[in-house]
Amino acid sequence: MRMSLHFDYAMRLLMQLAVNEDRLCTIADVAKTYGISKNHLMKVAHLLVKEGVIASIRGRSGGLRLALPPDEITVGDILRITEGDIALLDCLQARPDSACHVVNVCALKQVLKEATRQFLAVLDDCTLADAVSNRKPLAALLRFPNVVDVGRA
């Protein structure tokens, strides 16, 4: 299984916001830090704002911050938000128009459903707080001086 750039960028953005929780971060700063597309990151941020995971503060001194504590955001939640249906094969999506001729009697389907369930269970046990638990080395890489302090925003 391979995740999309949406998931990758969402996790990078969330990690950046978690490490800089005392400041507001801008899309431009995060994109520059990681060397990624500002436009794609903007789409991801919009989705995470819409889902209530991050908050957007408007204005000249605005930026982004986490809307939830890092220990309440699971990697599984972010995967579901960014990827939608993560069925490993089309036959697992419960669609009647499956191209497979053995879909109704296939035993592999149950194995793949269980594998997906276990995969998500592992990701649901991992929070954003876990992902940034090595805060010191992350902060050294992900802090930037031109970010607005939340206390002044």
Residue spans per domain, the chain:
5-85+127-148
The second-level CATH assignment, the architecture, of 5-85+127-148 is Orthogonal Bundle (1.10)
The predicted structure's pLDDT at residue 97: 64
Beta bridge partners of 24: 148
The CA distance from 21 to 70, in Å, is: 9
Q: Would you write out the chain's pLDDT as a tens digit for each of its 153 residues?
A: 678 899 999 999 999 999 998 889 999 999 999 999 999 999 999 999 999 999 999 988 899 999 999 999 999 999 999 998 777 666 666 566 667 777 778 888 888 889 989 999 999 999 999 999 988 888 888 765 544 444 434
